[in-house]
């Protein structure tokens, strides 16, 4: 008798994300088990429950999804889960805290439909946030020179150092810390940039009205803020490869369609084998496969 698919949603927040739950259901999961306020001390028992209830080929019918708004806390839970696996006794897992991995992958893939990031200069506004950090990782892995922007240069430098440590300094593009505490500094980060990604908090305008007039401004602009005011003035949330001046623009909803496709496909892929680990790089790979 063929086993049904079971996705165990593990969330460190007081309430498990309804967004992640609905996407899982829409991805075709037969049974969804949600756990909230999960701590490091509880991960092992949850993972053991997934590993030891089924055997052989049936192991691939159970998978783990790690969400939550605190990215560092979620990453700690994922590390703990990985340590629980041994040999072939394991289940596949996906990590997407605060939607950061799927959103960052979609944002980068949208821009890559217009230019290859290798050798290009990329500006990431609000690079210290969960999505911005992931975009910095992806862009640098793809060989771009990345301007890592924050209101405080010291925080931007911390992100540069973290990306180098995670991958190795010889395997990432050049990372440059930029302070963007005011509009003039922000415009300076845009000059000579090929692509700009705005990943600021909801309702925070990162780039004001004059951005289209910046000399040597970006060829592609991706704004991931859907809450008014948007992050980049004059980009509409629905923009999807819309030309504004000399810039090809994407708004949050324009990126969101691909983000949702990536999220659903990743959930489905979890049940193909029992040994998959889907984090930022793998999720980006899934998205790339959807576009080829």
Q: Which of 74, 71, 59, 62 is nearest to 10 (CA)?
A: 74
pLDDT of residue 71: 87
Q: Note whether 75 and 17 are within 8 A (CB).
A: no
Q: Taking residues 165-176, what's their average pLDDT? A: 87
Kindly give the residue spans of alpha helices, DSSP state H, lying in 85-120.
Answer: 100-112
Backbone φ and ψ of 54, nearest 5°: -135, 155
pLDDT of residue 212: 63
pTM, whole model, 2 decimals? 0.95
pLDDT of residue 213: 66
Kindly state whether residues 173 and 37 are assigned to the same domain: no
- List pLDDT tens digits, range 241-285: 999 888 999 999 999 999 999 999 999 999 999 999 999 999 999
d(CA 232, CA 248): 13
At residue 289, does pLDDT exceed 80? yes
288: enclosing H helix or E strand? helix 280-290
Kindly state whether residues 111 and 30 are assigned to the same domain: no
Query: Is the residue at 279 inside a domain?
Result: no
Kindly state whether residues 180 and 201 are assigned to the same domain: yes
d(CA 163, CA 141): 9
pLDDT of residue 129: 92
Number of domains in the chain: 2
Q: Note whether 104 and 135 are within 8 A (CB).
A: yes
d(CA 136, CA 148): 7
Q: Which of 270, 225, 292 is nearest to 9 (CA)?
A: 270
Beta strands in the chain (DSSP E): 6-11, 31-35, 62-67, 92-95, 121-125, 145-150, 175-179, 195-198, 220-223, 240-244, 247-250, 277-278
Query: Is the residue at 227 inside a domain?
Result: yes
- List pLDDT tens digits, range 109-154: 999 999 999 999 999 999 999 999 999 999 999 999 999 999 999 9
- List pLDDT tens digits, range 44-69: 999 999 999 998 899 999 999 999 99
Helix (H, G, I), strand (E, B) or coil at 261: helix
Query: Is the residue at 41 inside a domain?
Result: yes
Task: Please report how many Cα atoms fall inside a 13 Å half-sphere around the Cα of residue 215, on the Cβ side.
Answer: 0
- List pLDDT tens digits, range 171-219: 889 999 999 999 889 988 998 999 999 998 888 888 887 776 667 779 9
Domain boundary among 95, 121, 140: 95
Kindly state whether residues 85 and 111 are assigned to the same domain: no
């Amino acid at each position: 008798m063929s086993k049904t698919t079971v996705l165990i949603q593990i969330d460190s927040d007081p309430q498990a994300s309804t967004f992640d739950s609905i996407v899982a259901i829409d991805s075709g999961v037969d049974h969804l088990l949600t756990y909230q306020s999960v701590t490091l001390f509880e991960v092992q028992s949850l993972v053991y429950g997934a590993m030891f209830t089924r055997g052989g080929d049936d192991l691939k019918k159970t998978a783990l999804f790690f969400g939550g708004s605190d990215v560092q806390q979620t990453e700690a839970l994922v590390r703990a889960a990985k340590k629980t696996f041994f040999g072939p006794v394991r289940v596949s897992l996906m990590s997407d805290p605060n939607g950061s991995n799927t959103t960052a992958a979609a944002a980068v893939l949208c821009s890559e439909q217009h230019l290859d990031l290798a050798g290009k200069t990329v500006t990431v506004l609000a690079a210290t946030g969960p999505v911005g950090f992931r975009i910095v990782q992806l862009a640098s892995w793809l060989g771009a020179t990345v301007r890592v922007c924050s209101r405080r240069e010291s925080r931007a430098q911390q992100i540069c150092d973290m990306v180098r440590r995670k991958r190795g300094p010889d395997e990432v593009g050049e990372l440059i810390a930029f302070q963007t505490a005011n509009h003039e500094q922000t415009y300076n980060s845009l000059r000579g940039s090929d692509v700009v990604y705005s990943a600021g908090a909801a309702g925070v305008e990162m780039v004001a009205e004059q951005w289209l007039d910046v000399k040597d401004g970006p060829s592609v602009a991706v704004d991931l803020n859907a809450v008014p005011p948007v992050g980049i003035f004059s980009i509409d949330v629905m923009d999807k490869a819309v030309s504004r001046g000399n810039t090809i623009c994407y708004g949050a909803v324009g990126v969101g369609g691909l983000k949702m496709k990536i999220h659903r496909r990743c959930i489905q892929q979890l049940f193909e084998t029992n040994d998959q680990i889907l984090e930022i790089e793998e999720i980006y790979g899934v998205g790339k496969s959807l576009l080829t």
